[in-house]
A and B are shown apart, each in its own frame.
Chain A
């Protein structure tokens, strides 16, 4: 059975859980695949590291936990330090590049950076950085279609913020498309510079 394991992680308050919720909802409701979302509860959910796990599959999912993520989306240094070692050898790391310095990473991991907070600020609300990250994720991984994700965004945010969140999604998505259209060497160069 082909499983795709995704972990999102960051500070409490960055919308880490919501970003995972949007991905899971898009896959399970709007692409009619299977998705299971689990999250760590506890004191760490308020302030420190916050994290959610999504497993995607074309078949029903029995074991619901992420063991070695295929994709890790991180929005804080602490989350990076804690979760980066779990990544699969050929996994994909997506980072908020202004908040995370990359070090001691498996050389085979593909890295994509996005200044999500800055892009969100350009839209006038820093809080939509998580949806920028989701848009970026859609572009660089192609794991869930942008159409399904946009519908899940609409479903998951307060009605008054729908347009803002859709713009945030598109902004991240376009930034990601531009990123993947650049040659691989340059991307690797960029990630080297991050170190």
Chain B
């Protein structure tokens, strides 16, 4: 399916990541957003609020992030594509409804423009310390999809991807920006609507008498029905059977929760999004994401000038974690260097996936700025020794 031209601002723009994310959402077909303003994410919904009257849709500034995150789920079940936008403290408040979205298989997008935490932390300064929260923040077992852009252009492109993946896998998708990428301005090329591929909602073609709201298709994802078209459906956060009725017993729980996990886990190959360079014969591979991947580029260049064969594996998709890819790279390289603006979150995932075949060196930063390229460079040199 192609993009609805009303939402596509075709042309060449010089805009920041927050604004580009908004344009990506509009191009993807988002016609509903609810939010509660919070630095450094506010510009996304600010632009959405300004643009949506001419595109056709709704923006609501809610009383808080709990309200914003449940309003979008209502909008999705009402037929819209919807998203909300926040940063650390707001993301914490949204956890309840991220779990509700995972359990009810509600396709939607949560944008988190990360700032320093915990708590109110550093409102205007960057961090990448919500990566594990994006994965594990809500209670219970579920899988999640998370993407991390490193430029305004990717904020546009990957927001569309986020919406498409949400529809395809019927899951909330976490769009993990950071303050640097959100507030960085670069050229953003927005294609023509006919060149933007949109994954449509998986609406059932079965007659109402045969439709079961949580009956999985071959890829384990169930089909949705349009409210008001005569289909019976029931949306509940309680453990439910294929009809959507609460069925609180171990057998139903086992079937449901394993499927929620498996529908994403089984698609790992299709959900592995990495940007690699020079990994084939690398001694050391730098694994990074978001703004840190751009700081790391300078360190990689410095190390290569010193004769160290240094590869780049930039994670565009963070969750599901690209385990198979990292495991394969671990067979070749001597070590991974993992810089990130937190005290070592994704580094442990890399270490786990490497399974002892390659060393993992975590280059931490507590937030409030970016790494000095020299710090990453030194870790590369240490790894090569």
Residue positions of A touching B, CB distance < 8 A:
21, 24-25, 28-29, 34-39, 41-42, 61-65
Restricting to B179-195, which residues have a CB under 8 Å from any CB of A? 179-180, 183-187
A-B pairs with lowest CB-CB distance, top 4: A62-B297, A37-B185, A25-B14, A28-B187
CA distance A65 to B295 in the complex (A): 9
Residues of B within 8 Å of A42, CB to CB, are 124-125
Taken together as a complex, chains A and B put the C-alpha atoms of A28 and B179 apart, in Å, by 22
Tell me whether A41 and B183 are in contact (CB under 8 A): yes
Known interface pairs A29-B12, A64-B294; A41-B39 also in contact (CB < 8 Å) = yes
Contact B294 A62 (CB under 8 A): yes
1/0 contact string of B285-315 vs chain A (CB within 8 Å): 0000001001101100000000000000000
Nearest chain B CB to A156 CB, angstrom units: 9
Q: B40 interface residue, CB < 8 Å from A?
A: yes
Bound together, the chains give a CA A42 to CA B179 distance in angstroms of 12
Given A28-B14, A29-B12, A39 and B297 touching (CB < 8 A)? no
> Is the Cβ of B184 less than 8 Å from the Cβ of A36?
yes
Alpha-carbon distance A34/B153, docked complex (angstroms): 12
Among candidates A25, A29, A64, residue contacting B184 with C-beta atoms closer than 8 Å:
A64
Nearest CB of chain B from residue A159's CB, rounded to whole Å: 16
Which residues in A have their C-beta under 8 angstroms from that of B295?
Answer: 63
Near A by CB (< 8 A), chain B positions 68-108 give none
B57 on the A face (CB < 8 A): no
A-B contact pairs, 24 of them (CB 8 A): A21-B14, A21-B185, A24-B14, A24-B185, A28-B14, A28-B186, A28-B187, A29-B13, A34-B186, A35-B186, A36-B185, A36-B186, A37-B184, A37-B185, A38-B180, A38-B183, A38-B184, A38-B185, A41-B40, A41-B125, A63-B294, A63-B298, A64-B180, A64-B184
A20 to B169 Cα, complex, angstroms: 42
B16 to chain A: closest residue by CB? A37
What residue of chain B has the Cβ atom nearest to residue A41's Cβ? B124
Interface string of B351-381 (1 = CB under 8 A from A): 0000000000000000000100100000000
Q: Report the Cα distance A36→B153, complex, angstroms.
A: 12
CB closest residue in chain A, given B300: A62
Known contacts A41-B183, A42-B124; can you find 10 more A-B pairs with CB under 8 A?
Answer: A21-B14, A25-B14, A28-B14, A28-B187, A29-B14, A36-B186, A37-B16, A38-B184, A61-B186, A63-B297
Closest B residue to A54 by beta carbon equals B185
| C-alpha spacing A28/B370, complex, angstroms | 24
B304 → chain A, closest Cβ, in Å?
A: 13
Question: Complex Cα distance A113/B176, Å?
Answer: 44
B-side contacts of A29, CB under 8 Å: 12-14, 187
Complexed CA–CA distance, A36 and B186 (Å)? 5
Per-position 1/0 for B8-28, Cβ under 8 A of A: 000011101000000000000
Q: Do the beta carbons of A35 and B187 come within 8 Å of each other?
A: yes
Q: In whole Å, how far is B14's beta carbon from the nearest beta carbon of chain A?
A: 4
Choose one: B14, B183, B373; the contact of A39 (CB below 8 Å). B183
Whether A63 pairs with B373 at a CB distance below 8 angstroms is: yes
A residues less than 8 Å from B125 (CB atoms): 41-42
Taking CB atoms, residues of chain B closer than 8 Å to A21 are: 14, 185
Q: Which residue of B lies closest to A52 (CB)?
A: B185
In the complex, which residues of chain A have a beta carbon less than 8 angstroms from the beta carbon of B298? Answer: 62-63
Chain B residues contacting A65 (CB-CB under 8 Å) are 370
Instruction: Choose among A35, A61, A64 the residue that contacts B14 (Cβ–Cβ < 8 A).
Output: A35
A64 proximity list for chain B (CB < 8 A) = 180, 184, 291, 294
Tell me the complex Cα distance, A63–B373, Å: 9
Distance from B186 Cβ to chain A, minimum over Cβ atoms (Å): 5
The distance in angstroms between the C-alpha atoms of A65 and B370, with both chains bound, is 10
**Chain B residues with CB below 8 A from A24, complex form:** 14, 185
User: How far apart sit A63 and B39, CA to CA, in the bound complex (Å)?
Assistant: 23
Q: Give A61 to B301 CA distance when docked, in angstroms.
A: 13
Report the minimum CB–CB distance from A54 to chain B (whole Å).
Answer: 9
Q: Which residues of chain A come closer than 8 Å to B13, judged between CB atoms?
A: 29
CA A21 to CA B187, docked complex, whole Å: 11
Interface string of B35-64 (1 = CB under 8 A from A): 000011000000000000000000000000
A64–B180 Cα distance when bound, in Å, is: 10
* Distance to closest chain B CB from A65 (angstroms): 7
What's the Cα separation between A34 and B186 when bound, in Å? 8
Question: Which residues of B sit under 8 angstroms from A61, Cβ to Cβ?
Answer: 186
- The smallest C-beta distance from A116 to any residue of chain B, in angstroms, reads 23
Residue of A nearest to B122 (CB): A42
Contacting residues of chain B (255-313) with chain A, CB-CB under 8 angstroms: 291, 294-295, 297-298
- A55, closest chain B residue (CB): B186
For residue A25, which residues in chain B have a CB less than 8 angstroms away from its CB?
A: 14
Residues from chain A with a CB closer than 8 A to the CB of B370 are 65
Residues of chain A within 8 A of B39, CB atoms compared: 41
Residues of B contacting A41 in the complex (Cβ-Cβ under 8 angstroms): 39-40, 124-125, 179, 183
Taken together as a complex, chains A and B put the C-alpha atoms of A81 and B120 apart, in Å, by 32
Which chain B residues numbered 127 to 151 have a C-beta less than 8 Å away from chain A?
A: none
- Per-residue CB proximity of B166-184 to A under 8 Å, as 1/0? 0000000000000110011
Nearest-CB distance from A4 to chain B (Å)? Answer: 15
Complex contact B186–A37 (CB within 8 A): yes
- Chain B residues whose CB sits within 8 angstroms of the CB of A36 once the complex forms: 184-186
**Cα(A172)–Cα(B328), bound, Å:** 58
